[in-house]
Amino acid sequence: MNCKNCQDSLEENAQFCDNCGAKVVTYRITFKHLISELVKEVFGVDSKFFLTLRKMVTNPEEVIGEYISGVRKKYVNPFAFLAIAAALSLVIYNYFADDFIAIHGSYNSERMIEVKKAADIDLSSLKGISKEEMATIKIEKQSAQFQIKLLDNMMQFMLRYFNLLTFLFLPLYALLSKWTYRKPHNFGEHIVINAYIYGFATYFTIIAFFAAMLIHPSIYMYSMFAYIAYYLYATSKLYSHSFGKALLKLLRFIIGLVLLTIVFVILSIIIGFFLKQFAII
């Protein structure tokens, strides 16, 4: 019998090919077998996935450092690690869409109550006010309706395209971490670093989401601070920084993120303005 991958001859009852290392497969594929392999490879107790997940808690510098140095079979690929997290988030957030939107809305509950009140006001019921006051209230109503519609569209977009957003933000985080930490890693290695950290943070956010539904919505909001703390923890171990130096580096990263966010918002406003002008024309 020959290996189906490299055609090298195999010994009788061989489990793996001595030439290419491929597993010798002698059985037909069935649906039951596919499910069994998925559970074993991804969710098995001894799987690479759970090893990676566990070590990202205890020793993130080992996972990241070893993968970058060439240890590729021991851990889950960083993109797969992040993709599984993004896929789980997408399924969970869509399934609990109403709860997800409610949790986000609860961050500024008092403000949102005022906005909804302004959006739902019945202009015909207002009596004894001047034309100027009526015009002001009408503008406030339109503004409130726009805010509610914008928030709803943002939530719907996030629920539908969470996977896409996850991978779009990854190069941005890598660029910022490259600017922050510079040597010894190149941009591609910073992609790996952030994929592992971002992926683990996403798993933690899923747990925080369920805790927010069961206990209090603020838990989900505070998970952002837990993510910042974890980023500080992981990078300090990876670069062997003291707490003070790691904190300064993290502040540099956050400042860069804020500046890029401001630029992104300004560009979005400008693009939106020109698109609106074009639509009017």
Please, which pLDDT band fits residue 55 given cuts at 50, 70 and 90?
Answer: very high
Q: Which of 109-113, 174-178, 191-195, 219-223 shows the lowest per-residue confidence on average (mean pLDDT)?
A: 109-113
Checking if the pLDDT of 204 tops 80, the result is yes
Pick from 223, 176, 173: nearest CA to 195 = 173
Q: How high is the pLDDT of residue 13?
A: 73
Q: Which residue has the higher pLDDT, 141 or 70?
A: 70
Checking if the pLDDT of 108 tops 60, the result is no
Checking if the pLDDT of 86 tops 80, the result is yes
Place of tokens 């098995």: 44
Please, which pLDDT band fits residue 28 given cuts at 50, 70 and 90?
Answer: low
Checking if the pLDDT of 193 tops 90, the result is yes
pLDDT digits (tens, 9 = 90+) for 217-254: 777 777 888 888 898 899 889 988 888 888 888 888 88
Query: How confident is the model over 56-84, as a mean pLDDT?
Result: 89
Q: Which of 14-18, 186-190, 208-212, 272-276 shows the lowest per-residue confidence on average (mean pLDDT)?
A: 272-276
Q: How high is the pLDDT of residue 64?
A: 93
Q: Which of 80-84, 121-125, 168-172 shows the lowest per-residue confidence on average (mean pLDDT)?
A: 121-125
> What does the block give as tokens for 159?
């629920």
Q: How high is the pLDDT of residue 158?
A: 61
Q: What percent of the chain has pLDDT over 70?
A: 73
Query: How confident is the model over 131-145, as a mean pLDDT?
Result: 77
Rounded to 10 degrees, the C-alpha dihedral 194/200/201/206 comes to 150
Handedness of CA 172, 174, 177, 178 (dihedral sign): negative
Neighbouring residues of 94: CB distance < 8 A, sequence distance ≥ 6: 159, 160
Q: Are 3 and 24 in contact (CB under 8 A)?
A: yes
Three-state DSSP class for residue 23: strand
Q: How high is the pLDDT of residue 139?
A: 80
The chain-wide mean pLDDT, for the chain, equals: 77
Please, which pLDDT band fits residue 280 given cuts at 50, 70 and 90?
Answer: very low
